[in-house]
Amino acid sequence: MIKLIAGLGNPGPDYEHTRHNAGFWWVEEAARLLKVSLQMERGHFGLVARASVAGQSVWLVEPQTFMNLSGKSVASVARFFKIAPEEVLVVHDELDLPPGEVKLKKGGGHAGHNGLRDIHAQLGSSDYWRLRVGIGHPGNKNEVANWVLKKPSPDDRIAIAQALDRSLKALPNLITGEMDKATALIHTSKPPRPKPPRPVKLDQVAAEGGAAGEGTSPAADKG
């Protein structure tokens, strides 16, 4: 059962559309679906909203501390409302997944992600859930800092948006703790492959072509 959903990103218009803000994008759409508004709560160092789902309170959070201090906000809300790490879901950008893919996992390391690193430290635990939103990798680790702080290409942005829409369908399952169902929805990252077209026989094409040509003339076509 998830009681706190935190989307990671950097505050301000300069970062609004950058890859590092994929977590913000997800939480903002979740707030819209749950019909709640994120409001600045200075005591919790971030934008916060409370939603009620099946009689259960769910807190949405966007830390406004910049990425490196994300844990300050997440841990503040978790401590105040007595939410355990395993009841926390952190939505963040993921270099190791291509745009268009999203993966759900529980626990594990921070893989160099500064937002997760601080959440680890502030919660005192890595035993929380993560929703990893693929943004792709620049191919060179020295370019990662610039990569995450730039806007994705139009094609990548479309792929990320489609992945967000798909994963948000699992929101009710995430909140109620039906993680197997949520995983099944989220990890279906590619549409079914289209069936190959049925082979057309040459005599059928000739017959159809002849039928189409009956009663017409070049002069009529020029109309």
Distances (CA, A) of 72 to 61, 62, 63, 176, 216: 11, 11, 8, 26, 77
Closest CA to 134 of 43, 212, 15, 26: 26
Contact assessment for residue 64 and residue 73, using Cβ atoms and an 8 Å cutoff: yes
Closest CA to 38 of 57, 56, 51, 19: 51
Helix axes 154-168, 179-186, angle to 10 degrees: 150
Q: Which residue out of 20, 92, 113, 120 is catalytically annotated?
A: 20
Give the position of tokens 């430290």: 121
**Is 17 one of the annotated active-site residues of the chain?**
no
DSSP label of 65: S
Burial profile 77-93: b = 16 or more Cβ within 10 angstroms, e = fewer? bbeeeebebbbbbbbbb
Active-site residues: which are they? 20
